[in-house]
A and B are shown apart, each in its own frame.
Chain A
Amino acid sequence: MGSLLNYITRRVLFAIPVFLAVSIITFLVTNAAGDPVQIVRLGIRNLNPAQLKAIQDYFHVNEPLYTRYFLWLSDLIRGNLGQSLYSGSVAGKVVPWIGSTLELQIPALLLALAIGIPIGIYSAKRQYSKSDIAVTTTAIFGISMPTFWLGINAILIFSLYLRWLPSFGAISPYPPWWWGNIYTDQLAHIIMPLGVLTFVSLAAIVRLIRSSMLETLRQDFILAARASGISDFRVTYKHALKNAVTPVITVVGLTFGTLLGGAPALETTFGWPGLGYEFVLSATILDLPVVLGITMIITAMVLAANILTDLVYALMDPRVRL
């Protein structure tokens, strides 16, 4: 057990330089955009000198770059994300939407795993059969599609043509969709983005499981298991699956970051009030402190997902802990 603790400590310590690297890159890039005062002035023309002075003081405009970075970083570590360039605090603009991004991402990932693993196994067991060809063809189309474009097509069919589902937001102001109930209304809003995200992740997971399973089924220990008279079901779902699923878990955990990164386009398409949509809105109006805050929160989420993946991997495969 000590070695597992050791392993996890190493992974957590590795997260620190990554977090710092992202903070340096994003801070430098947002600084290149220029003086916050100038950006505020693009939107608000008639600032009086006292207001200008207050903005300059708040963003330490007259300090050198590294001082500004360390002031921002020390605030960030203490959990203070600072003030937006326009109104309110960054935390107030960002934190409420973390939950709504996860509300979409986590069910999509779990659904995709729950559906994708059995389909991938089925496809591998019947390699080159008609059903396998149907599965692999659908899957390669699935991974070749921008998620948001599939979303646009879903809106065309289910919102504009059939008028079954709402196309925008997470909740309607009035009247609610489907039987006038607040819960069914939320359900109606989440179905399309969740379905689209699940389909695209599903395609990737099916391909991974299929190829990993094919490779495992070819190995000697499977032949040995079969030779000792273990049933086909047990060989497939106990011996082979356990070995085939471990590398897939790693890839899925690592791509969870990519999924989170893919959120901006999907959330913008469906007007889903998540971190990605807020990022796009803030970057469009150059609200740099909000953009910085969201980037760091997404980085922290990606790192947490990676550590969790490593933990699951270490629990499943004892060789890793050595």
Chain B
Amino acid sequence: MNSKETQYTRRSAGQWAVAWRRFKKNKAGLAGLAIVASFVFLAAYGLLLDPVPARSFGCLYQGCTNLPPFVDSAHPLGTENSGIDVWNEIIHGSAGDLYVGIGATVISVVIGLSVGAVAGYRGGVSGAVLLGLTQIFFVLPVLVIILLFAKIFLFLLAQGLALSLIVLTLGLFGWPLFAFIARGEILRIRELEFVQAAKSLGASGSRTLFRHIVPNLLSPIIVLSSLAVAANIITEVVISFLGFGDPTTSTWGLIIQEGFDHIDSSWWVAFFPGIAVVICVLGFNLLGDGLSDALNPRLRE
């Protein structure tokens, strides 16, 4: 009798452990996790050790500008027209791009979860207004508006703030999908029996919402977050490539733009940072797919 009880409690406590066990079997998901971890490592290496400062033009005076890749071991991926080392830019760019990708997603999740939770749980007039607001934000032509924000405010602001401004703008326009999912899940979960049970045991409204409902809607939000980081990194690369970003901070889009300007003489400057973008974004997409399989077993088989 007693042993049976402990079994039950262990099983219900191990929801995340079960998901992790399922995730571990997914090779693509694990590959995604490994890729993401290596980019985090690369970014930390660039930020903390900083062996060669970002955008250093040292090569300009040593005659190693426009060096092709795989020729000089000091510059494994070659150098740009003005002597910037491509591999070093990839290292420093990963810090910038992960900051934008993850930072903007965190802002979107916070806004989306709050709006969705209120719209789903409270209903009524405020719920309807928030739902309408979400629908409006959902159909905005976001990239054009973000480009406009970046252009105008970077023109006005100090340049050190530029990357944070892009994080903020991407976050402010990226939340509607999170709000829709949170609202939909809340509408579904609040009718389930365990919520009714919590309520009839006298749990307060906020306790029911945060202690019983929110933990159960986290899994679709986690999956979507991983995919949102991937999408935000691509948007950041587009912003920098078009010259709407901060010209003083290393990002992958900036070095791709510089490479594209000299595409006929040095193809490697645009090519290799693009490979970094593809691998990093692929990592987050694979991680998202793997998490989706692990957290929503209904969709498998």
Chain A interfacial positions (CB closer than 8 Å to B): 14, 17-18, 21-22, 25-26, 29-30, 32-34, 140-141, 143-146, 148-149, 152-153, 155-156, 160, 211, 215, 254, 257-258, 260-262, 264-265, 268-269, 279-280, 283-284, 286, 291, 294-295, 298-299, 302-303, 306
Residues of B within 8 A of A291 (CB): 148
CB distance from B191 to the nearest CB of A (A): 20
The answer for the CA separation of A283 and B267 in the assembled complex, in Å, is 28
Q: Are A153 and B132 in contact (CB under 8 A)?
A: no
A265 near B152 with CB under 8 A, answer no
Binds A, one of B37-45, B87-95, B239-247: B239-247
- Collect the chain B residues with CB atoms within 8 Å of residue A280's CB: 147, 242
Whether A144 contacts B278 by the Cβ 8 Å rule is yes
Closest residue to B260 on the A side, CB-wise? A152
- The answer to whether B136 touches A17, judged by C-beta atoms less than 8 angstroms apart, is yes
How many angstroms between the C-alpha atoms of A140 and B282 in the bound complex? Answer: 7
- The answer, among A33, A144, A283, A302, for a CB contact under 8 Å with B285, is A144
The reply to whether A160 and B267 form a contact with Cβ atoms under 8 Å apart is yes
The answer on a CB contact under 8 Å between B237 and A264 is: no
The CA of A284 and the CA of B247, in the complex, are separated in Å by 14
Given contacts A33-B152, A261-B144, A283-B244, 4 further A-B contacts (CB under 8 A): A140-B282, A146-B234, A257-B141, A261-B142
Q: Which residues on B are within 8 Å of A, measured CB to CB?
A: 132, 135-136, 138-145, 147-149, 151-153, 155-156, 230, 234, 237-238, 241-244, 256, 260, 263-264, 267, 270-271, 274, 277-278, 281-282, 285-286, 289, 299
Closest Cβ of chain B: how far from A274's Cβ, in Å? 13
- In whole Å, how far is A129's beta carbon from the nearest beta carbon of chain B? 15
In contact, B278 and A141 (Cβ under 8 angstroms): yes
Chain A nearest CB, measured from B166 CB (Å): 14
Q: Which residues of B are found within 8 Å of A148, using beta-carbon distances?
A: 238, 241
- CB contacts (< 8 Å) of A284 on chain B: these are 151, 243
Q: How far is the CA of A27 from the CA of B132 in the complex (A)?
A: 21
Of A22, A140, A141, A144, the residue contacting B141 (CB under 8 A) is A22
Nearest CB on B from A158, distance (A): 13
